Amino acid sequence: MKEGTELGHYRILRALGKGGMGEIYLAAFRLSPQSDRLAIGVLNTTWDLSVYDLNRGTRSLARNGRSPAWSPDGAEVVYESRSPSGLFRIAVDRSEEPEVITDDQWFQPYSYSPDEPLLLLGRIEPLTGWDIWILSAEESRPKPFVQTKASEYHAKFSPDGRWFERAVAAGNPEP
C-alpha cells in the first residue's frame, strides 16, 4: 500500500512491517474538512467518540460511538454506535441531541458527497461480506449501492462528487 493512501477514516503514513497477521501500517485519522478538528473513536471498555479541537487543544462531544464521518461543512459528525445500537448524526457544537438515522441495522459511515445529499455506508452481509450502501437526504432508509461476491469497504466520494473509490478484497468477508 502506498504512503498517502486513504482507507475510510485513515490515511496511510508508512509501512511498519510484515508478519504472520499480515502487513502493519502507521495510519492517521482524517481531519475535519477545515483541518481544525479530529473526530476519533477510542476503544476503552466501550467505544468512545470524541472531537478534538486542534487549535484550542480541547476535547468535546464525548459519546458512545465510533467510525465518525464528517459532513462537508464540518458542522456534523455521523457515527455508528452499539449502545444504543444504530447510526446517528450530531452537531459538533452539541446544540442538539443526536438524530437517529437508523436504529435496527448496523452500518458504518464512510463518506458524504461534497454537496451533502448522499452518504456512503458500509455493512457486512452474510453472503457477500462487506458491501457499500448509500443513504440519500430525501430517503429514510439506506439502499444497497455495490454488492458483489468480493468485500467492498472504505468508500469515499471524489472531491467533485461524481465518482467514488473503495477498497476491494476478493473472497474475503472481513476487511
Confidence of residue 132 (pLDDT cuts 50, 70, 90): very high
Evaluate whether residue 26 is within a structural domain. yes
User: Is residue 174 classed as helix, strand or coil in its secondary structure?
Assistant: coil
Domain holding 145, by residue range, is 118-175
- Based on the domain organization, do 23 and 35 belong to the same domain? no
Grid coordinates of 169: 478484497
- Based on the domain organization, do 175 and 139 belong to the same domain? yes
- Based on the domain organization, do 35 and 102 belong to the same domain? yes
Grid coordinates of 53: 479541537
- 29 phi and psi angles, rounded to 5 deg: -70, 150
Evaluate whether residue 113 is within a structural domain. no
Tens-place pLDDT, residues 21-75: 677 665 557 688 888 888 877 665 667 788 888 889 888 877 788 888 899 999 9
Specify whether the CB–CB gap between 42 and 79 falls below 8 A.
no
Evaluate whether residue 69 is within a structural domain. yes
HSE at residue 168, side-chain half, CA atoms within 13 A, is 8
Name the domain count of the chain. 3
Tens-place pLDDT, residues 70-122: 999 999 999 888 777 889 988 988 778 888 888 866 888 989 999 878 999 99
